[in-house]
Amino acid sequence: MEWHVIVREDRHDDVILNKVRNHGKFYLDLFNGTPWRIKDRGLLDDHIRKTEIGINQYDLLVLAMVVFSIDHMINRKYSDDNWQRNITIYLPVQQPDIWAKCEDVLNNLLNFLSGDKWSFRFRKSKKSIKYQNNIFSSEHICLLSGGADSLVGAIDLLEKGKNVEFVGHHGKGITLIKQKEISDTLKKNYTNQTNFNFFFVEAPKTNGMTVETTTRARSFLFIALAACKYHCNEKSVNLYIPENGLISLNVPLTHSRTGSLSTKTTHPYYLMMYQKLFDALGFDLKIISDYRFMTKGEMFKNCMNIELLDSLLEKTMSCSHPEQSRWTGKSPKLHCGRCLPCLIRKAAIKKAGFKDAKYATNVLSKAPDPSKKGGSDYRAIQMGVERFLLSTNKNDYFLVRNSGPLGDNEIEQFISVYQRGMNELSTLLFNRTRDTIL
């Protein structure tokens, strides 16, 4: 099935697509008073009013909000294979000619990220975007998700004396609470070095619509939000994406788990394609992923302020689905304790010797029922680690290669961080490691 999404920028946007069937066609709106309105709490209007955003940045933000929303709204169960969606977006932009030149990069980037087939049809926007050229901009922008890796990245940058513009994204739930707890402490410890921007964006929700829960396109919006804090300077601006190498590669645990559980949100190839998009749009913005060759445990042990990290770790949230503990009558602030990010976190904290947050489930003392969803996820993690312990360097080479395109000059470093990360996990789960690694 093909989906056609028409983006309308105001009530007078009466674009008509005669050749597009009503079947599989719907609208996304950027204005109030419609059920198809993308929720952003005034984010777009603020940018226009304050004239703090360039025209290509504005268009990138709108595009990312649309992609993020569609990823939520179109359930994969309607696809022929129950997974890959075929989506065409009809989008108003300030400079259609420039965006038409970016289309191949954009399609490849999103196809790799979400596993879908994306295409775009650009038309001239009627909005007038004004931009001030003399706005001060930090030379350092960093993503702050509220997770442990982003905390390490923040501390290390601030310990180096850098003034940093931090950017976070949140919907409803506990993410914003975690982001603010961390930011409040960082403000106190690094006076006059920080500025925090936490943005709310949510997809429309309409009656009778079953939402998609995989949300693989979220990182596309996250990075676009960070790009909006970039302003033209004489110097290049650095955009830091702190994520450990094992999670970035996200090698599938088993052959059957190559879909929703094998996300590519910070994969090196995805970040390289995003950099190409920035270059094509004329942004002097450099993506930096300093921790791509480190495991999570190594990030913790090498943090430049160990005491601060240890004191703040329990306030971070690494879990894939923290809200699920609410369903069992427990606090929504708890890690579930059985998803892959939770176990990688526990393994890293064990390696670093830190105190940890509380978990809803302790799988080490009582494994969840494998006949249920949570139990089957945990069993797949066990199987993946068992496979690793019996594997070889040659097999690891092909597994890492299959995660996505990687440069030949860095492949051994990626294999090595994968092996070290898996050894952290195997130490936690089985108190064993594999000695035959690079």
Least confident of 39-53, 113-127, 367-381: 367-381
DSSP string, 49-97: HHT-S-HHHHHHHHHHHHHHHHHHHS-GGGSTTSS--EEEEEEEES-HH
CA distance 163 to 196: 11
Residue 209 has pLDDT above 60, yes or no: yes
What letter represents residue 45's amino acid? D
Segment 119-176, tens digit of pLDDT = 999 999 998 888 777 676 789 999 999 999 999 999 999 999 999 999 999 988 889 9
Residue 375 has pLDDT above 90, yes or no: no
CATH entry, 140-430, from 2.60.40.420, 3.40.250.10, 3.40.50.620, 3.30.1360.150: 3.40.50.620
The angle subtended at Cα 219 by Cα 97 and Cα 117, nearest 5°, is 55
Segment 13-30, tens digit of pLDDT = 888 777 777 678 889 999
What letter represents residue 299's amino acid? M
Q: What is the pLDDT of residue 255?
A: 63
Which residue, among 214, 256, 248, has the nearest Cα to 379 in the 3D structure? Answer: 256
Instruction: Please state the rounded mean pLDDT for residues 69-91.
Output: 93
The angle subtended at Cα 144 by Cα 139 and Cα 150, nearest 5°, is 100
Residue 404 has pLDDT above 70, yes or no: yes
Cβ count within 10 A of residue 191: 7
Which residue, among 268, 354, 298, has the nearest Cα to 156 in the 3D structure? Answer: 298
User: In which band, very low, low, confident or very high, does the pLDDT at 211 lie, cut at 50, 70 and 90?
Assistant: confident
What letter represents residue 137's amino acid? S
Cβ count within 10 A of residue 6: 22
Segment 337-348, tens digit of pLDDT = 888 999 999 999
Mean pLDDT, rounded, of the chain: 90
Residue 2 — φ and ψ, nearest 5°? Answer: -100, 140
Q: What is the pLDDT of residue 234?
A: 62
CB under 8 Å to 160, separation ≥6 — which residues?
304
Torsion of CA 423, 425, 429, 433, to 10 degrees: 0
DSSP state of 11: T
CA distance 131 to 30: 20
Segment 274-330, tens digit of pLDDT = 999 999 999 999 999 999 999 999 999 999 999 999 999 999 999 887 666 555 556
Which residue, among 396, 394, 370, 395, has the nearest Cα to 381 in the 3D structure? Answer: 370
Residue with tokens 């602030």: 333
Residue 258 has pLDDT above 50, yes or no: no
CA distance 264 to 113: 5
Indicate where the chain has its CATH 3.40.50.620 domain(s). Answer: 140-430
CB under 8 Å to 340, separation ≥6 — which residues?
253, 261, 320, 377, 381
Instruction: Please state the rounded mean pLDDT for residues 350-371.
Output: 85
Spell out a b/e string for 388-402, using b for 16 or more CB atoms within 10 Å of the CB, else e. Answer: bbebeeeebbebbee
